[in-house]
Structures are given as C-alpha cells and as structure tokens.
Amino acid sequence: MVKICCIGAGYVGGPTMAVIALKCPSIEVAVVDISVSRINAWNSDELPIYEPGLDEVVKQCRGKNLFFSTNVEKHVSEADIIFVSVNTPTKTRGLGAGKAADLTYWESAARMIADVSKSDKIVVEKSTVPVKTAEAIEKILSHNSKGIKYQILSNPEFLAEGTAIEDLFKPDRVLIGGRDTPGGQKAIHALRDVYAHWVPQDRIICTNLWSAELSKLAANAFLAQRISSVNAMSALCEATGANVTQVSHAVGRDTRIGPKFLNASVGFGGSCFQKDILNLVYICECNGLTEVANYWKQVIKVNDYQKSRFVNRVVSSMFNTVSGKKIAILGFAFKKDTGDTRETPAIDVCKGLLGDKANLSIYDPQVTMDQIQKDLSMNKFDWDHPIHLQPMSPTTVKQVSVAWDAYEAAKDAHGLCILTEWDEFRALDYQKIFNSLQKPAFVFDGRNIVDVKKLREIGFIVYSIGKPLDSWLKDIPAMA
C-alpha cells in the first residue's frame, strides 16, 4: 500500500488529502500538524474549516484510509510521498519584510523530514512558494541525507475556498513539476498515478520544477489582476454614469476574455492573492526587473484604493462623519461559503470606519465573535503565523459588537454595509430593515447583490459599487 503523509492540516492540506483518500482507497493518507487543536477538530464532528461537501468526504474515509495526527515524525518516516502544505506567509521583519515569503515553516518541515526519514522519499511542494524553492529544499535534504534519496516535486494547489471540494473533484488542471532526470521523471509518474485515479490524463500537466512553481504565482496574479481591472473600471463607471455590471457583461462576452472573475467588489481578499503577488513583486525586484515588479504592484494598489474608496463613500455620504453612529456590517468572511477571514476586505473597511469612530454591529453566518475581535486587533501580515491559530488574544475592540442575524445588526443603525456576498443577504426583508434603521437610511453594497431599484423605492439611499449614483451621492464631491 502506498503511504502518503501531508504536513499541514489547513485549508489546503485537509480537503486535498481527504479527496485523495476518497478517490484512492488503496492509498493510506495521514495528515499531520503541530497544532493540537486543529488535529482534534479534524478528528471531531466540528471540522476546523467550513467548506461545502467536506464533512461528507471526511466522514467516508476517516479511520479507514484517512488519518489526522499530531505524530508528525512517525507518519513522515513511514510515508513514500510527503506533501508539504504548511503556511508560507509574508515576512513581517528582516530582509524582504512586507513582501518576501517567509519560508521558516517550510524549512523546519524539510529539516524534520531529513531527521526522521529512513527510506527514499518523494517530497511534494503543495504550499505556494517562491520560484526556486525546490532548489533550497533539495540542498537541505541532500546535505542531511544519510544516504537517503529524495525527489522534490512541485504540485501547486489551485482550489478556491468555498468550492474546494468541487475544484478538487474536477480540477481544470493538475500541475506537476519535476527534474528532467530519470529519478525526477519516475517521481512525476508516481504522483501522476495518484491523480490518475480520478483526473483525466489530458488535465495533468507535467513541466519542469521552475515552471510549476512560477505558474502558481502567475495564475493568482492574473486572477487578481482581472479583479483590480474591473474594480478600476467601477470607479470610472461611478464618475461617468456607466454601470459596471453591464460593462463586465459586454467585455466578458468576448470569448478571448471570458465572463468569469469580472465581478466588481469592495476588493479581493483571502490568504493568497495579496501574499502571492507581493512575493512575485519581490522575486522580480531581486532579479532586477523593476518595471515588471511595478506592474504587479499596481494590482495591490488598486485593491487598497478600492477598499479606502468604499470607506470614503460611507463616511462622506453620512454628512462626513460616522462618529458615534451605529453601522451594521453584513458579512465578514472574504467571500461567501467560507468562514475564512484572512485578508478579508472587511478588516480594512471596519478599521477605516473605526478610525472615524463608528460603532460597528457585525453579522456573518460563519465567523465567530472571537475571530472578528482577533482580526480587528491584529497587525497587517501577522494573521498567517501559527501563533494566531491558537486561542484568542486578550485585546478587544470596544466599538465592535457581533449580532446573531442581519436584522439584529441593523436595528437602530444609520447604515448597512454589505461586505460578503452570502446568498441569505439577497433574500433579506429590506422593508423590515428599513423600518428599523435611523433615517435617512443608507445601504452600501460592496458586492453588488441588492436590487438597487427596489431598495430605492423602499426609501433607502443606495450605493452599489460601479453603479450609477443615487442623486444624494452625486452632490457629494468625488473622492481622491
């Protein structure tokens, strides 16, 4: 029986390995982590992450050929193939701080593999890493090898949260990069055989190591760039009376462009886009490619602009002050169908409003009060370091309360900000909400999910990203 071990039981390691176990009953899969609470949760009825379809997959395999354990060394030493799916956050200090990837967790995993291995291993980079990381890992392993042979493969993950199981069942492609040597090619075949249990051969792309590593950063940069492009257009739409939804539709009908990923929003969030683009920028700078670095930097700048533009709209619409006013925040996760708040635009928007002394009442169907408090009291880039996977920090932000539902959040508020596109927010009784709001009653839709016409008929003053402005808002001077 082939044995797989995955180091890192997070958003990628957990679902990816659960699907491998489901699709390959002949393979034994162990997922290991240094976080005891995470592993306990994976072994319980309350999985540590919310992901549609994940519970069913885990229930079918757990205890049969899928195991979650903190006994990292035992499972690593027994495995034939080791996936490394640890976090690769942005460095917070030292050389490259604020841009470069922090490979501390990756390096410590590699050193541990070298320490405990007693047989040849295929080591698979599942984490998103800077191009050429495989070379560094090879060096660590070969200098500590005790005669053991290691093959390093790059097999980046392209799943998106909220649709992870669907994406893993039917990936657009699986990418495997390896050395162009007999040993490298043999390792590529071994990993290809795993995926071939359910992924058609023509969707498995094999490349050299550096192409695979770089393709992951490139794919995320291209995706994020589409969102910044449409968000940049949304600002121009507001200035000119065009409607960004109509523009996106018209642009996306060009088959060369395509319709996906053209929804204007309050900004992209999530643990990947910003981190990976900053990493790409740093790699470009290190290679002397200043113009290329500046090109990609702009994607982040427009995203930051979009978030601050939204905050400015809220404050300027409400007579230029939200001090002491209750504002309801609907949605805190970075997108619907996940409880993940990493780099969610809601953090920047809430911090912006708190900076203007607003009182916030926040509701999200999947995010806890503890998580919201932690996110709003944490420094930029600190979120992806394991210490923050541990229980709450003692600081709480007093101007923030968390509501049980959207109606409670909205009661007596001056305005409503929609920051995540949860389906339930489309179906709310907005007349009921209007009745309980202070007047004039404002809705700021950061996800373009409300029926603007209907809400205006009810009596709301509505701002919806990139849509023709309410006459109320038109009279307010344009923002920087």
**Which residues make up the interface to ligand NAD (CB under 6 A)?**
7-13, 33-35, 38, 72, 85-88, 105, 108-109, 127-128, 157, 159, 161, 271-272, 386, 389
Output the smallest distance, CB 447 to ligand NAD, in A: 19
Contact between residue 130 and residue 214 where contact means Cβ atoms under 8 Å apart: no
272 marked as binding residue: yes
Output the smallest distance, CB 411 to ligand UDX, in A: 27
298 marked as binding residue: no
CB atoms within 10 A of CB 452: 18
87 marked as binding residue: yes
Binding status of residue 157 toward ligand UDX by CB under 6 A: yes
CB of 27 or CB of 86, closer to ligand NAD:
86
225 binds, among ligand UDX, ligand NAD, none (CB under 5 to 8 A by kind): none
Binding status of residue 51 toward ligand UDX by CB under 6 A: no
Binding status of residue 366 toward ligand UDX by CB under 6 A: no
Residue 81, H or E segment: strand 81-84
352 marked as binding residue: no
DSSP, collapsed to helix, strand or coil, labels residue 459 as coil
Spatial neighbors of 220 by CB under 8 A, at least 6 apart, are 128, 272, 273, 276, 277
Output the smallest distance, CB 276 to ligand NAD, in A: 7
Binding status of residue 160 toward ligand UDX by CB under 6 A: yes
How buried is 379 (Cβ within 10 angstroms: 0-12 exposed, 13-18 middle, 19+ buried)?
A: exposed
335 binds, among ligand NAD, ligand UDX, none (CB under 5 to 8 A by kind): ligand UDX
Binding status of residue 375 toward ligand UDX by CB under 6 A: no
CB of 87 or CB of 344, closer to ligand NAD:
87
Sign of the dihedral through C-alpha 328, 333, 334, 336: negative
Binding status of residue 341 toward ligand UDX by CB under 6 A: no
Q: Residues touching ligand UDX: how many (CB under 6 A)? A: 19
Query: Which of the residues 5, 6, 24, 272 is marked catalytic?
Result: 272
Relative orientation angle of helices 273-286 and 290-317, to the nearest 10 degrees = 150
- Identity (one letter) of the amino acid at 444? F
Closest C-alpha to 208, from 182, 174, 185 = 185
Binding status of residue 261 toward ligand UDX by CB under 6 A: yes
State which of residues 85, 234, 265, 366 lies at the interface with ligand UDX (CB under 6 A).
Answer: 265
Binding status of residue 158 toward ligand UDX by CB under 6 A: yes
DSSP, collapsed to helix, strand or coil, labels residue 131 as coil
Cα distance between residue 325 and residue 360, in whole Å? 8
Output the smallest distance, CB 49 to ligand NAD, in A: 7
The DSSP bridge partners found for residue 62 are: 66
Interface region with ligand UDX, contact rule CB under 6 A, candidates 152-160, 174-182, 200-208, 282-290: 152-160
Instruction: Give the angle 166-168-170 at the CA atoms, nearest 5°.
Output: 70
178 binds, among ligand NAD, ligand UDX, none (CB under 5 to 8 A by kind): none
Cα distance between residue 351 and residue 353, in whole Å? 5
220 binds, among ligand NAD, ligand UDX, none (CB under 5 to 8 A by kind): ligand UDX
Q: What is the largest CA-CA distance in the chain?
A: 75
CB of 28 or CB of 102, closer to ligand UDX:
102
* Site residues (CB under 6 A) for ligand UDX, limited to 201-230: 220, 223, 227
Contact between residue 75 and residue 85 where contact means Cβ atoms under 8 Å apart: no
The reply to whether 206 belongs to the active site is: no
Cα distance between residue 27 and residue 6, in whole Å? 13
Binding status of residue 425 toward ligand UDX by CB under 6 A: no
Per the structure block, which two tokens stand in for 227?
């969102």
Cα distance between residue 107 and residue 91, in whole Å? 14
**Which residues in 247-263 are b (16+ Cβ under 10 Å) and which e?**
bbeeebeeeeeeeebbb
Output the smallest distance, CB 281 to ligand NAD, in A: 16
Cα distance between residue 45 and residue 59, in whole Å? 9
Just list the catalytic residues. 272
User: Residue ranges for the binding site?
Assistant: 8-13, 33, 38, 86-90, 127-128, 161, 272-275, 342
Q: Which residues are annotated as a binding site for NAD(+)?
A: 8-13, 33, 38, 86-90, 127-128, 161, 272-275, 342
- Residues in contact with ligand UDX by the rule CB under 6 A: 157-161, 220, 223, 227, 261-263, 265, 268-270, 272-273, 334-335
